[in-house]
A and B are shown apart, each in its own frame.
Chain A
């Protein structure tokens, strides 16, 4: 039986999805092994020094730590896929309850940041590439280099100092709850959004600028200029379509970074998101929560990287049909 011939893009997407799933599987294995097979008996660590051997044994039985490792792994994975993440060690509630709304909050923050940061960064990158080596470009380069070098919490605290303490415009603690409407939520997350956006814009702008400069020095652009085409037409119709592929790649990669950078910002602004939960659970050694949130973060990261891969290949006709 002959299989129907797959369109090249579909084949590409399927291949990358398969690769992504395999990576996720290995990551879940790593998470499981990393947490359960490292030195430091889990039950002992959680119950502390004063626990009697009987309590430790009972606790191990409850966490099913006495079963062999591979059985535990598959039970955990099976339950995870069904949405049952186990119970938190700190307060005995199902982990899924804790994670669900927090994940939505984190996604909200990341989405708003991305919506703000991406257009600004791409625009600035294009402008800087067009006017390279002018004062504008040098100034922007300096500012972005500094912003990249700053730790996120530095930017965060400076913004708090300027916009929340000195001028009292924005709240320094971004607390949102379901009762707020959209505008109130947006107001509350202004500062964390700004912090993340500044760092992401800095990264994206530099990479966009580099990509566009690369393209502007190609022979076909020189040809278009020699032909006497207007500058705008050269940029929009000749340079930009070629720049799509690397720029999309840059955007998707930075979105992946956003997912991680959001952890620090959430801690600084005490934003009720998944990042804060992860950090709290790590200090409390609440292993089920750490495992579940870690896996969710990793999955989002892998997904975004995969998307970057697929999109950047799909937007470049030369790569779509390799010969």
Chain B
């Protein structure tokens, strides 16, 4: 805890900015039901109104308050992105550690499978699977988690291989510790720093991916508020000079820039460069 606070104090301005941005968005997401002036799907005004004291940023294409939908959209998208990242992390880390610790044929098999899956462009694969299974939230979660776990697998395997050759792991093996114990108590604690940085990066990508899928109409379906589909719904306004779709798109950019700043700082620390 003290170490974490000391770390924070040494952070450069960009990292603090990023931290602030992420915290603001998280707070908005958590407190959405409390601070939102209107309901998530409540029609409260005319279509595409400008910002006024009734509607903080204006209304969207059906007359719903844009600010409230942004808040609820934060909630939905962040929650789903978090679940997906957590799932892909659990799967990728377990398989990666397994491949590194057991080695041999299991390593070869898993690595080849992951290579093949990574040779596939993710958006195309997701689009194809979603076209058959339909765009329900569980399908979305499983598909994206599966696709993302390949990247986590690569990193987890590389990190675990580095740790696995150390003496304390060999000592634990000779003591007779089981595979699961090894992975959980020897490898995992030592692998945390790069994995945490990767979690942040993956969250970013998953978030952008969901936004992209929703923008294409194949992700989170309306009327559930979601930043990507909000951009899609309000896209027509641009040609009239009404900049409504820029708000949810800017929100997406806001969050990802914040996470990227933090991850950049993490990577800078981890690389130990004097640059």
Contacts and interface: CB of A to CB of B under 8 A. Distances in A.
A290 B124 CA distance: 9
A27 B128 contact: no
Contacts of B250: 154
B107 to A, nearest CB: 18
Contacts, number: 142
Given A40-B133, A294-B127, A151 B238 contact: no
B149 interface: no
**Quick one: which of B215, B241, B246 has the most chain A CB within 10 A?**
B215
Contacts of A264: 212, 215-216
Contacts of B115: 23
A40 B130 CA distance: 11
A170 interface: no
Contact of B132 (A42, A146, A161, A267): A42
B243 interface: yes
A149 B256 contact: yes
B208 A151 contact: yes
Contact of A40 (B132, B243, B261): B132
A154 B133 contact: no
Interface in A36-67: 38-40, 42, 45
**Quick one: which of B123, B127, B128, B261 has the most chain A CB within 10 A?**
B128
A59 to B, nearest CB: 16
A260 B122 CA distance: 8
Nearest to B130: A282
A153 B256 contact: no
Nearest to A289: B131
Interface string B235-275: 10011010101100110110011011100100000000001
Contacts of A132: 275
A146 B218 contact: no
Contacts of B231: 153-154, 157
Interface residues of B, number: 45
B119 A281 contact: no
B166 interface: no
A151 B119 CA distance: 22
A154 B116 contact: no
Interface residues of A, number: 53
Given A157-B246, A161-B243, A150 B218 contact: no
B148 to A, nearest CB: 15
Nearest to B116: A26
Contacts of A39: 133
A145 interface: yes
Given A23-B119, A161-B243, A133 B131 contact: no
B123 A260 contact: yes
Given A161-B243, A282-B131, A154 B249 contact: yes
Interface in A244-296: 256, 259-260, 263-264, 267-268, 278-279, 281-283, 285, 287, 290-291, 294
A302 to B, nearest CB: 5
Contacts of A301: 119-121, 124
B208 A290 contact: no
A278 B124 contact: yes
B246 A27 contact: no
Contacts of A23: 115-116, 119
A161 B246 contact: yes
B133 A158 contact: no
A145 B208 CA distance: 14
**Quick one: which of A133, A161, A291 has the most chain B CB within 10 A?**
A161
A199 B261 CA distance: 17
Nearest to B112: A26
> Nearest 7 CB-CB pairs, A to B?
A154-B249, A149-B256, A282-B131, A149-B257, A150-B253, A260-B121, A301-B121
Interface of B: 115-116, 119-125, 127-134, 204, 208, 211-212, 215-218, 228, 231, 235, 238-239, 241, 243, 245-246, 249-250, 252-253, 256-257, 259-261, 264, 275
Given A27-B119, A148-B260, A172-B239, 20 more contacts: A31-B128, A34-B129, A38-B129, A145-B257, A149-B204, A149-B257, A149-B260, A150-B249, A150-B256, A153-B231, A260-B124, A267-B216, A279-B127, A279-B218, A282-B216, A283-B131, A285-B132, A291-B128, A298-B120, A298-B121
20 contacts: A40-B133, A146-B253, A148-B260, A150-B249, A151-B252, A153-B212, A154-B231, A160-B238, A161-B243, A161-B246, A172-B239, A256-B121, A263-B124, A268-B235, A281-B131, A283-B131, A287-B132, A290-B131, A294-B127, A298-B120
